[in-house]
């Protein structure tokens, strides 16, 4: 039993810290730490810095420009980058479609798309969910019909995160209606500028435009944009979901959010004393911190097992459930900490360049919205109910 980092791992952590000390733009980090919305430019600026360092593609083999970090190194990066307020990389290109292209795509696709992902030239979004196909993803209906050198795509995708910024979308489409649902699905790469594509914003309850609906009307997609084989898309989709689910537990993010919460609770007053000295509130914080400690060790146990050559199984589903519940509890407490100020929704304080007087606390304005927004954590990436189904089937054999 050894829960310590090796000397090499500690050296790597120092290297990460030195890099972040030097290169992470302070304005971006401040936004991330305070849960303020990031602009497209914020994402792109950071992406370029990360790419220049060679640390952008952590799930790719080195021959394609990736960096081959061990599971422990990835964990160190996750911890440190969360602590520093590094923006999460928009995953759809670098961490989702790229691994699929690398594993199942042809040489031409690798040559075309991978460099453009690394350089930030392409912004990808994900065309998986449909209005009628959420947890039951395999029931998707968007049709792709072969017509000479093209597929003609008709249908609708939804919950397309940051699709408003994207120029490429990877889609699961139905190419065969004669077979079992899972067997008639293909994986297509589609240019968002193609005629017939319409992106419509979905505004969420916190007033944010983060997700979209994407409509396809007789969209012509060249056949060379098919990844792998026709009707085999479900296999690739499942492969991609394993990437989607890693990191969803957000342990590093929870640690950062907890640190933020404790500072907040030290500044806010209750009975004339810092809120953190109030027994009821400090016990709530203590409980979530204890839960997070446990989840952090569970996370390390999975990492150590992968480091030793194991394959993460349904354990990551369990951790997704716990991790998202913990993060949501922290967001709940941050909203509680500002008391009556949870009501005002002072959007101008969230905007770039706000230089007026803060209504309450510099950090108060986003907290309610952030709490509501993060109700998504237990819904996306496979809802927590679906994760429990996986655990119950894969581990318990029920």
Partner 1 sequence: MDFRLNEEQQMLQDTVARLVRGEYSFEKRLEFSETEAGFSEAFWGQLSELGLTAVPFSEELGGFGGGGVEVQSVMTELGRGLCLEPYLQSVILGGGLIAQAGSDSQQEQWLGGIASGELKAAVALQEPQSFYDLNDVATRAEKSGDGYVLNGRKAVVIAGHCADLILVSARTSGDTREADGISLFALSPDTDGVERRTYPTIDGSKGCDITLNNVQVGADALLGEEGKAADVIEYQSGRAIAALCAEAVGVMEVANELTLDYLKQRKQFGVPIGKFQVLQHRMVDMMSELEQARSMAILAASVADIEQSDERRRILSAAKNVIGRSGQFISENGIQSHGGIGMTWEYNFAHYAKRLITINHQLGDDDFHLERYANLLQVG
Q: Which CB sits closer to partner 1, 89 or 328?
A: 328
Task: Using alpha carbons, select from 347, 88, 99, 123 the residue that is nearest to residue 243.
Answer: 99
Burial class of residue 21 in the structure, from the number of CB atoms within 10 Å of its CB (0-12 exposed, 13-18 middle, 19+ buried): exposed
Q: How far is the CB of 155 from partner 1 (least distance, A)?
A: 17
Q: Which CB sits closer to partner 1, 11 or 269?
A: 269
Whether the CB-CB separation of 213 and 199 falls below 8 Å is answered with: yes
Q: Which CB sits closer to partner 1, 23 or 209?
A: 209
Q: Which CB sits closer to partner 1, 207 or 310?
A: 207
Q: How far is the CB of 152 from partner 1 (least distance, A)?
A: 27
Check if 244 is active-site: yes
Q: Which two tokens stand for residue 41?
A: 């430019």
Choosing from 244, 289, 357, 362, the catalytic residue is: 244
Q: Which CB sits closer to partner 1, 272 or 353?
A: 272
Geometric angle at alpha carbon 205, from 199 and 206, rounded to 5°: 100
Antiparallel, parallel or unpaired: β 124-127 and 168-174 = parallel
Task: Using alpha carbons, select from 84, 75, 82, 78 the residue that is nearest to residue 18.
Answer: 84
Burial class of residue 250 in the structure, from the number of CB atoms within 10 Å of its CB (0-12 exposed, 13-18 middle, 19+ buried): buried
What is the rounded distance in angstroms from the CA atom of residue 194 to the CA atom of residue 199?
12
What is the rounded distance in angstroms from the CA atom of residue 377 to the CA atom of residue 157?
20
Geometric angle at alpha carbon 113, from 107 and 119, rounded to 5°: 135
Q: How far is the CB of 73 from partner 1 (least distance, A)?
A: 34
Q: How far is the CB of 329 from partner 1 (least distance, A)?
A: 11
Residues near partner 1 (CB under 8 A) are: 129, 132-136, 139, 158-159, 202-207, 211, 268-272, 275, 280-281, 284, 328, 332, 335-336, 339-347, 359-360, 368-369, 371-373, 375-376, 378-380, 383-385, 388
Antiparallel, parallel or unpaired: β 209-222 and 226-227 = unpaired
Q: Which CB sits closer to partner 1, 42 or 349?
A: 349
Q: Which two tokens stand for residue 389?
A: 């189904």
Q: How far is the CB of 159 from partner 1 (least distance, A)?
A: 5
- What positions carry a catalytic annotation? 244
């Amino acid at each position: 039993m050894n829960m310590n980092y090796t000397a090499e791992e500690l050296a790597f952590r120092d290297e990460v810290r030195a890099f972040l000390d030097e290169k992470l733009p302070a304005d971006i980090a401040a936004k991330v730490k305070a849960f303020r919305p990031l602009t497209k430019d914020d994402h792109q600026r950071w992406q370029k810095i990360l790419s220049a360092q060679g640390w952008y593609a952590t799930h790719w083999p080195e021959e394609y420009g990736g960096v081959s970090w061990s599971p422990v190194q990835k964990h160190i990066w996750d911890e440190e980058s969360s602590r520093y307020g590094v923006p999460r990389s928009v995953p759809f290109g670098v961490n989702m479609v790229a691994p699929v292209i690398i594993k199942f795509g042809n040489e031409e696709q690798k040559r075309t798309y991978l460099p453009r992902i690394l350089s930030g030239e392409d912004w990808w979004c994900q065309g998986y969910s449909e209005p009628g196909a959420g947890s039951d993803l395999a029931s998707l209906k968007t049709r792709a019909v072969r017509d000479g050198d093209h597929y003609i795509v008709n249908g609708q995708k939804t919950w397309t995160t940051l699709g408003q910024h994207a120029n490429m979308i990877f889609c699961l489409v139905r190419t065969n209606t004669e077979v079992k649902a899972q067997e008639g699905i293909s994986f297509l790469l589609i240019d968002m500028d193609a005629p017939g594509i319409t992106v419509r914003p979905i505004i969420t309850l916190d007033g944010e435009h983060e997700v979209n609906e994407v409509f396809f009307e007789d969209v012509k997609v060249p056949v060379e944009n098919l990844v792998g084989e026709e009707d085999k898309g479900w296999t690739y989709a499942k492969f991609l979901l394993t990437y989607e689910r890693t990191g969803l537990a957000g342990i590093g993010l929870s640690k950062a959010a907890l640190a933020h919460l404790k500072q907040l609770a030290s500044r806010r007053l209750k009975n004339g004393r810092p809120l953190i000295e109030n027994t009821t509130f400090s016990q709530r914080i203590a409980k979530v911190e204890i839960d997070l400690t446990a989840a952090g060790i569970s996370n390390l146990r999975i990492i150590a097992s992968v480091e030793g050559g194991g394959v993460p199984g349904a354990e990551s589903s369990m951790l997704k459930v716990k991790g998202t519940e913990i993060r949501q509890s922290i967001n709940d407490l941050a909203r509680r900490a500002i008391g009556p100020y949870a009501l005002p929704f002072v959007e101008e304080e969230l905007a770039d360049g706000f230089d007026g007087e803060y209504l309450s606390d510099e950090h108060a304005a986003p907290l309610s919205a952030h709490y509501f927004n993060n109700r998504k954590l237990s819904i996306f990436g496979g809802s927590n109910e679906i994760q429990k189904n996986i655990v119950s089937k894969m581990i318990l054999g029920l």
